[in-house]
Amino acid sequence: MSRIGKEPIEISEKVTVELKDGLVIVKGPLGKLEQEVRPEIKVEIKDGKIFVSRKKENKMAKSLHGLTRTLIANMIEGVTNGFSKTLELHGTGYRVKLEEKKIILQLGFSHPVVVRPLKGIEFKLKGDRKIIVSGINKQLVGNTAAAIRAIKKPEVYKGKGIRYQGEIVRKKPGKAAKVGAGEAKYE
């Protein structure tokens, strides 16, 4: 039995959950999310809790058990509190500004990079070097943040680029540091 999958999911008073033809619909104060449930998995609502179980004991059902429970729990968390990821710009002259819900990045290219949010995603700024990507769908928030980071990944020699808040970039020593390391000393 999956350790994650057998844990029941608490439904708060602000959230309503419906089951319709293999579809879980979660509505809350921040919005509505839907998730399709595979036929190998059984979802039940009892006493204000959601229970996820397997219909079969094959490898596919075992692998989907914990995943389905986590996806439903993330949906409930998303419609009540939402999710966010913070990105930081590191580099001289790198900055960002917000115009009509889209962000415009100055990253040392010959042109500014414009990123428009997908439906359900919102951008906020802290200063001119921090971007906060927020929304109710955890997967969409993570994918949007990853797409923004991919525009200019942190490079390994100076650490310039876009990184997640708290991300540590391991820097490589440059060519000059390597040259002096192998020299023999004569006395």
pLDDT score of 73: 94
40 and 94, same domain (yes or no):
no
Q: Kindly indicate the confidence band of residue 118, based on its pLDDT and cuts at 50, 70 and 90.
A: very high
Averaged pLDDT for residues 83-91 = 95
Q: Looking at the structure, tell me whether residues 33 and 93 fall in a common domain.
A: no
Residue 175 located in a structural domain: no
How far apart are alpha carbons 48 and 69 in whole angstroms?
A: 15
In a domain, 145, yes or no: yes
User: pLDDT band at 164, cuts 50/70/90?
Assistant: very high
- Specify whether 90 is located in the same domain as 75: no
The reply to whether 126 and 98 lie within a common domain is yes
Q: Domain check: are 140 and 87 in the same one?
A: yes
Please identify, among 60, 80, 100, the residue that sits at the C-terminal boundary of a domain. 80
- For 25, the domain range is 9-80
Each residue's pLDDT tens digit, 131-142 = 999 999 999 999
Render pLDDT for 8-30 as a digit per residue (tens, 0 to 9): 999 988 899 999 988 999 999 99
Residue 38 domain-assigned?
Answer: yes
Q: Is residue 181 part of a domain?
A: no
Q: From CA 158, how far away is CA 48, in angstroms rounded?
A: 52
DSSP 175: H
Query: What are the tens digits of pLDDT across the range 48-61?
Result: 899 999 998 889 98
22: in domain: yes
- Which pLDDT score is estimated for 25? 94
Pair (119, 148) in one structural domain: yes
What pLDDT is recorded for position 183?
56
Residue 68 sits in a domain of what CATH number? 3.90.930.12
State residue 178's pLDDT score: 57
**Which whole-number Å values give the CA distances from 18 to 34, 72, 155, in the listed order?**
10, 12, 46
- pLDDT band at 80; cut points 50, 70, 90: very high
121 and 65 within one domain: no
How many independent structural domains does the chain possess? 2
User: What are 156's two structure tokens?
Assistant: 């390994």
Please give the model's pTM, rounded to 2 decimal places: 0.84
- C-beta of residue 33 within 8 angstroms of C-beta of residue 79: yes
Q: Is residue 173 part of a domain?
A: no
> pLDDT value at position 175?
79
Share of the chain above pLDDT 70, in %: 93
For the segment 87-113, the average pLDDT, to the nearest whole number, is 93
